[in-house]
């Protein structure tokens, strides 16, 4: 594997990582599972990661097909996806993560943890943008690695929360939102410049 290939894997990993923002979502996970026994919390962790992974991989392979049928081009989605990521980044900077609506204990790993907390519109947009920029294999690997990180963080959520505290989680979430906003602006800029280049030819 060349350095160029490794760079593609890294560049595909970062947008998805900051879009998921697992540390920023950790307080919500703790709030939803704080009264559960250790075994039940473990089941919720597995359920949420499996749900998020299934949605992400499904959208990875079906999303591009849907957009190609609709006639949506790469540069169209770069601008639209960048705008979506930018809106989510600004919203998280101003308001932070909000606990999703109530759900029964049987399916909180599916909704709201698996989606929309872990895999929502921002993550889905990041996935398709990464596919267009870096290809299927780097994007697939980055999704799997990110879900392993999510599983690890949720599995050891109480310990991590105790170490970094609520303030630490909030600070990490704000930094991730700034990074996501910067990535969004970069994508919008590339998409607009590409459209201008096509129009000029």
Number of separate domains in the chain? 1
Do the Cβ atoms of 183 and 78 come closer than 8 Å? no
pLDDT at 32: 85
- CA dihedral angle for residue 197, residue 90, residue 183, residue 178, rounded to 10 degrees: 140
3-state secondary structure of 23: coil
Specify the pLDDT at position 47. 96
CATH of the domain at 11: 1.20.1250
Query: Model confidence over 75-117: pLDDT tens digits?
Result: 887 888 889 889 988 988 888 766 555 556 678 999 889 998 8
- Whether 13 has a pLDDT exceeding 90, the answer reads yes
Distance between start and end Cα atoms, the chain: 36
Q: 60: cis peptide before it, omega within 30°?
A: no
List, for residues 14-53, the tens digit of each pLDDT value.
999 999 999 988 988 988 888 888 899 999 999 999 999 9
Report the C-alpha gap between 138 and 163 in whole angstroms. Answer: 32
User: Is residue 33 within 8 Å of 41, Cβ to Cβ?
Assistant: yes
Number of neighbours of residue 196 by Cβ within 10 angstroms: 10
Range of the domain at 151: 3-200
Among 30, 28, 38, which residue's Cα sits nearest to residue 98?
28
């Amino acid at each position: 594997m060349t350095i160029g290939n490794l760079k593609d894997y890294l560049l595909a990993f970062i947008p998805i990582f900051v879009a998921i923002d697992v540390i920023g979502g950790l307080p919500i996970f703790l709030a939803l599972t704080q009264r559960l026994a250790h075994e039940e919390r473990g089941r919720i962790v597995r359920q949420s990661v499996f749900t998020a992974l299934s949605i992400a991989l499904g959208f990875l392979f079906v999303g591009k097909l849907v957009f190609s049928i609709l006639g949506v081009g790469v540069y169209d989605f770069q601008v639209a996806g960048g705008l979506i990521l930018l809106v989510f980044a600004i919203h998280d900077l101003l308001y932070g993560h909000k606990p999703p609506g109530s759900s029964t204990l049987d399916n909180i790993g599916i909704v709201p943890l698996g989606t929309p907390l872990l895999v929502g519109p921002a993550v889905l947009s990041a996935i398709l943008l990464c596919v267009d920029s870096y290809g299927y294999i780097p994007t697939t690997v980055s999704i799997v690695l990110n879900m392993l990180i999510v599983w690890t963080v949720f599995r050891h959520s109480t310990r991590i929360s105790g170490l970094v505290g609520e303030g630490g989680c909030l600070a990490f979430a704000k930094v991730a939102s700034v990074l996501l906003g910067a990535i969004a602006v970069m994508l919008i800029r590339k998409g607009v410049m590409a459209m201008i280049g096509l129009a000029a030819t």
